[in-house]
């Protein structure tokens, strides 16, 4: 940077503008050194990943040598301090999977909906305001989320869990039912002769609406009767993890929707599509891989989260019965590692210590696989659009 003024100075003093051989060599060396330093910095972060993998692998393998593979993956008896100890982690894997699935159910529809709204429906000025606000969610420390889950959400689920579930059913069910009824009445009434179309349409809307209301009211009443004995359960954690994964899903899928070119949208409009058709048939499919990557990144956020699940999942190493029962406490891989680390002897190097590394290895493998899939999806997306 400082060379340019020196050159001007040199020119002003009447020297040649051509660099001397010595300066040339110096510059060559400097650029070589610069490249070297940058390369070292880049490779050091890659090396750090390799080192982490190596050290986890080094401490995880003794566990499988000591205890074999079968117990770890197939048994649900997790008693690491009993005599003799048991290290069955199936229930813990199921717990991780369950809260992650719950988080996806919360984050994906909300996230993609918000992304579509941001990229195609809200005016540009509003988007400039709304997107940063959503991204603030990502800046809230996870312990704050955990504290909220433990101190606010858990007692609320215990006291008014049934009501909350019933209200939730109405909030989700009513708009979906309205949309379905609207589309169905449109399709069905189109078959009627023009004279009776309006009456027929009203009858269909009334009939279907009545059925939907009856169904929803029944579901809500059934949910309302549910009593949740303990608020620190898989549902609580799923809701919070979904909220935490939301900014990732919104941000990445909004970028994907934005990168679908203007010409595709204009082409669709020119062919006479409505805005809904353009969105559903053209824009979202074109951004599909990017949205897929967004979902996977959200999944990774949920799988790897520790503090919230440690505080609010109940940490009971059991497979809920039935397995989809989100109202029972579960235990996840991350929470187990965090909770057991304190007493696991690295001095003596027991199986109880190495089992945590075996879990860490599984987590690393899962997130590596997710990362690879999302990279693949993004690469495919960018290739397709070009």
Burial label, 331 (beta-carbon count in 10 A; 0-12, 13-18, 19+): buried
Closer CB to other proteins, residue 78 or residue 283? 78
Handedness of CA 324, 329, 334, 337 (dihedral sign): negative
At its nearest, how many Å lie between other proteins and the CB of residue 228?
A: 10
In 3-state terms the chain splits into helix, strand, coil percentages (rounded to 5) of 80, 0, 20
* Single residue of 35, 346, 379, 384 touching other proteins by CB under 8 A: 346
At its nearest, how many Å lie between other proteins and the CB of residue 315?
A: 4
Q: Does 91 bind other proteins (CB under 8 A)?
A: yes
Candidate ranges 115-123, 225-233, 272-280, 362-370; the one touching other proteins (CB under 8 A)? 225-233
* Single residue of 311, 327, 333, 359 touching other proteins by CB under 8 A: 311
Q: Does 6 bind other proteins (CB under 8 A)?
A: no
Q: Does 235 bind other proteins (CB under 8 A)?
A: no
Query: How far is Cα 134 from Cα 130, in angstroms, rounded to an integer?
Result: 6
Determine the 3-state secondary structure of 80 from DSSP: coil
Closer CB to other proteins, residue 289 or residue 328? 328
Q: Does 315 bind other proteins (CB under 8 A)?
A: yes
Q: Does 273 bind other proteins (CB under 8 A)?
A: no
248 contacts 85 by C-beta, under 8 angstroms: no
Query: How far is Cα 137 from Cα 383, in angstroms, rounded to an integer?
Result: 31
At its nearest, how many Å lie between other proteins and the CB of residue 220?
A: 23
At its nearest, how many Å lie between other proteins and the CB of residue 305?
A: 16
Place of tokens 């941000």: 251
Residue 164 vs residues 55, 230, 236, 327: alpha-carbon distances, Å: 46, 14, 12, 13
* Single residue of 53, 64, 71, 76 touching other proteins by CB under 8 A: 76
Q: Residue 84, preceding bond cis, omega within 30 degrees?
A: yes
* Single residue of 219, 230, 259, 273 touching other proteins by CB under 8 A: 230
Q: Does 73 bind other proteins (CB under 8 A)?
A: no
* Single residue of 39, 51, 79, 372 touching other proteins by CB under 8 A: 79
DSSP code of 19? Answer: P
Candidate ranges 131-139, 199-207, 298-306, 343-351; the one touching other proteins (CB under 8 A)? 343-351
**Rounded to 5 degrees, what angle do the CA atoms 97, 143, 362 make?**
30
Q: Does 337 bind other proteins (CB under 8 A)?
A: no
Of the candidates 88, 93, 80, 99, the one whose C-alpha atom is nearest the C-alpha of residue 365 is 93
Kindly list the residues in this chain that would bind other proteins in the complex (CB under 8 A): 76-83, 91, 150-151, 154-155, 158, 229-232, 310-311, 314-318, 328-329, 331, 339-348
């Amino acid at each position: 940077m400082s060379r340019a003024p020196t050159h001007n100075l040199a020119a002003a003093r009447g020297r040649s503008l051509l660099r001397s051989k010595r300066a040339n060599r110096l510059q060559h060396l400097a650029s070589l050194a610069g490249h070297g330093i940058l390369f070292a910095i880049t490779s050091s972060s890659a090396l750090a990943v390799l080192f982490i993998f190596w050290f986890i692998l080094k401490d995880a393998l003794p566990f499988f040598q000591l205890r074999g593979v079968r117990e770890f993956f197939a048994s649900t008896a997790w008693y690491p301090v009993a005599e003799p100890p048991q290290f069955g982690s199936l229930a813990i894997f199921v717990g991780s999977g369950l809260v992650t699935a719950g988080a996806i159910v919360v984050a994906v529809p909300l996230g993609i909906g918000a992304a579509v709204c941001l990229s195609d429906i809200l005016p540009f000025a509003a988007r400039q305001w709304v997107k940063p606000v959503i991204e603030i969610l990502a800046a809230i420390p996870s312990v704050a989320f955990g504290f909220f889950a433990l101190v606010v959400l858990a007692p609320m689920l215990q006291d008014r869990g049934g009501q909350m579930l019933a209200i939730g059913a109405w909030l989700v069910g009513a708009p979906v039912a309205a949309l379905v009824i609207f589309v169905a009445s449109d399709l069905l009434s189109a078959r009627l002769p023009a004279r009776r179309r309006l009456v027929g349409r009203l009858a269909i809307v009334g009939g279907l609406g009545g059925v939907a209301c009856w169904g929803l009211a029944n579901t809500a009443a059934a949910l309302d009767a549910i009593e949740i004995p303990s608020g620190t359960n898989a549902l609580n954690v799923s809701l919070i993890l979904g909220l935490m994964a939301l900014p990732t899903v919104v941000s990445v899928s909004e970028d994907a929707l934005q990168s679908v070119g203007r010409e595709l949208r204009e082409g669709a409009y020119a062919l006479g599509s409505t805005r809904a058709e353009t969105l559903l048939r053209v824009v979202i499919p074109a951004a599909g891989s990017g949205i897929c990557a967004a979902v996977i990144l959200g999944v990774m956020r949920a799988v790897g989260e520790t503090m919230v699940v440690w505080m609010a999942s109940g940490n009971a190493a059991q497979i809920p019965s039935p397995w989809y029962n989100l109202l029972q406490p579960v235990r996840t891989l991350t929470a187990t590692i965090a909770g057991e680390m304190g007493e696991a002897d690295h001095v003596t190097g027991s199986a109880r210590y190495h089992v945590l590394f075996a879990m860490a290895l599984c987590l690393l493998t899962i997130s590596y696989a997710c990362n690879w899939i999302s990279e693949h999806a993004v690469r495919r997306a960018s290739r397709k659009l070009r």
